[in-house]
Amino acid sequence: MRSFFSKYKFFGITLLALSVVIIYLFYNALQPKKMLPVFQPSMVSQELVDSTLHYKRKYHTISDFELINQNGKKITQQDYEDKIYVADFFFTTCPTICPIMTKNMAEIQSSILDDQDVLLLSHSVTPVIDSVPQLKKYALEKGVIDSKWNLVTGDKKQIYQLARKSYLAVKNDGDGGPYDMIHTENFILVDKERRIRGFYDGTNKEEIQKLLTDLEILKNSYTE
C-alpha cells in the first residue's frame, strides 16, 4: 500500500503545481490591460490651455515645430518621429523649481539611457536669454546627454503656442507681453502618435516614479 501511494505522490504534486500555474495564467488573462488615458484640452485646467481649445474633446496632438538645441542643431518633430518622449518647460536662470525639475529629468535620462524608443525634450520659456551657448553651458552643468535630451530655444511665439496649444502646460502671464508665460512643474508624457498620455509633477519624486511606471505601460502597449 505504501509503495502505491509513493508511486503516485510525485504525480499528485506535479498535477497540483500544474493546476496552480493554469489558474494563475487564467487569472492574468482575465485581468483588464492597463491603459493610459489620451488627454484632450477639455480634460486640462483651462488656465493652461489656449482659449480656442477649451472645449476640444478629441484628436488633440502635438503640432509640428522647428527649434534649436544646445548644440545649435535644428530640432523638429521628425527627430521625435516614432518615439515616446517626456517634455517640459523651463529656463536656465530659474532659481526655484527648475533646478529640481532638471535634476529629476536627469534621473529619467538615466533610466532610459539604453532605451532607443524614449527621448526627452525641454523648452526654454525665455528664449531670448537662453541662447545656444547658454543652453550648452546649462546642459554640461546638468549632465545632459545629447543623444537623449534636447534643450531647445527659438522663436518665442512658437514656444508659447506649443506650450499653450500643444502641451497644455503653461499659464499666460498677461503682464509682460502677448507671448509671456509662466511655466508649471509639469512633465508631459507623449506617445508615438504625438498624443499626451500623462502629466506629472516634475518636482515630486513619487510622481517621477509614477511617470516611469506609466512609461512602461505605454511601451508595452506597442508590443502587445
Using only C-alpha atoms, what is the Rg of the chain? Answer: 23
DSSP string for 103-143: HHHHHHHHHTTT-TTEEEEEEES-TTTS-HHHHHHHHHHHT
What DSSP character marks residue 33?
P
Exposed/middle/buried for 150, CB within 10 Å: 0-12, 13-18, 19+?
buried
Burial class (CB in 10 A: 0-12, 13-18, 19+), 17: exposed
Residue 200 in 3-state DSSP? strand
**Known binding site for Cu cation: residues?**
94, 98, 183
Annotated binding site: 94, 98, 183
Q: What is the C-alpha separation between 154 and 131, in angstroms, rounded? A: 8
Helix (H, G, I), strand (E, B) or coil at 90: strand
Q: Which residues pair with 123 in a beta bridge?
A: 89, 152
